[in-house]
Amino acid sequence: MNPRTRRRLERGIDRALFWLVLAGLLVFFLFPLAWMVLSSLKTNVQGMAYPPLWLFWPTVQNYVDVFAKNPFVSYLLNSTLIAVLAVGVGLLFGLPAAYTMARYQQRTLGFLFLMVRILPGIAFLVPLFVIYRQLGLINTIAGIALSHIIVVLPLVIWIMAGFFEDIPRELEEAAEIDGCTRVETFVRIVLPLSKPGIVASAILSFIASWNNFIFVLILGGKDTITLPMAVYSFVSFEDVNWGGLTAAATVITVPILILSLIVQRYLAGGLTMGAVKG
């Protein structure tokens, strides 16, 4: 076998292995999603059948029951409002904090936020519950949104710190020579150059807030039920409504999938740019 033919064969094998591994990963990650969607289109009897039914007549009754028997529109609005408020406050305080950490080498500050991100959310629930009860923030949208800052703020800071470190200091120095204050330089120069990172951190923060369950379980109530909490209502001590559970989970997942597909270019580009140095 001549060298040219051998190189072609090796490239063909590499390409085949690449697509084989990619197909395996796709099956591994997409199978739970496919199983959830299929289960949502089955009756409870079909969903509990063993071996599992792969050929069945689909039904949308589970989706009808989800919206007819539960105020899911209200839950959707609660989740959206809480996530938007949490992301807004997280960006408002996280961007200056990340800039300070990047420009002034505030390693201690970065370590503290990293510890907050590492600690489980349940570690904050007891002090938060005591404080919220004194301030009257139990079962309020504002209270739940503020509790999500614990998850959102470290995420924003650690993503954006890498972006701010990549921005040349010369640009800021030139702006200051032209008469800009430090705040004006940050707003007019640094933030526009960091737009991909801001978009990426906002999207990831929104998803983290959207999927959060433990805070609303303890600090919320009937007026602040979010979508993850609504899904939990399909589980009882006597039974699990698998059809309604999977239908509700699908309803929760679809908005995030649509959002991810719309902004995937910004998300991938933002995370990649923030990871490149020099």
d(C-alpha 7, C-alpha 56), whole Å: 48
Helix (H/G/I), strand (E/B), else coil: 235: strand
pLDDT band at residue 1, thresholds of 50, 70 and 90?
A: low
Q: Where is pLDDT greater, at 9 or 224?
A: 224
Residue 95, pLDDT score = 92
Q: Which CATH superfamily is domain 69-275 in?
A: MetI-like (1.10.3720.10)
Asked if the model's pLDDT at residue 206 lies above 70, the reply is yes
Residue 276, pLDDT score = 45
Using CB atoms within 10 Å of the CB of residue 253, give its burial: 0 to 12 exposed, 13 to 18 middle, 19+ buried.
middle
pLDDT band at residue 275, thresholds of 50, 70 and 90?
A: very low
d(C-alpha 224, C-alpha 207), whole Å: 18
The domains of the chain are located at: 3-40, 69-275
CA-wise closest residue to 75 among 233, 214, 243 = 233
pLDDT tens, 207-246? 889 888 889 888 988 888 888 888 877 777 667 778 888 8
Instruction: Tell whether omega for the bond before 51 is within 30 degrees of 0, i.e. cis.
Output: yes
Helix (H/G/I), strand (E/B), else coil: 240: strand
d(C-alpha 123, C-alpha 242), whole Å: 31
